[in-house]
Amino acid sequence: MEITKIMDLEGAVNIASEQVNINISAHGQHMTADINRYPFNQPSVILGFNNFLILLKQVAKTLNNRGLTLTIMYKRRILCLIGRDANPGLLSRIFRFEHIQLKNIAVLIGFLLRS
């Protein structure tokens, strides 16, 4: 049995390097990760994509259990919601993404191809 614990968060952090630029902010039970630059098309990242999906599912489950929601954005456009407030659509259900809501497939594909 999963124990649900509602948490409140507050703060912001920027993760930046030559290859990565991600702004993360939190207020209450909502967090936002705005990805401005991420090398998703590099071989080392592509080889780890399956592990990334497994990790994403685990994070979504943990966030849901804690009553938290994370909005993942790419260049200020929403890619997906994960956690408590996510409402999985058909594609999420097909891929068994519990607590993950894909918001904009075109932006998501662009993110994966152009990052």
In this model, does residue 69 exceed pLDDT 90?
yes
The answer, as to whether pTM is greater than 0.85, is: no
List the structure tokens of 68: 């938290």
Q: How far apart are the first and last CA of the chain?
A: 39
pLDDT tens per residue, range 10-66: 998 888 777 778 888 999 999 998 887 766 555 545 545 666 677 788 889 999 998
What 14-20 contacts at long range (C-beta under 8 Å, 24+ apart), as own/partner pairs, is: none
3-state secondary structure of 75: coil
CA–CA separation, 35 vs 21, rounded Å? 6
Residue 84 has pLDDT above 90, yes or no: yes
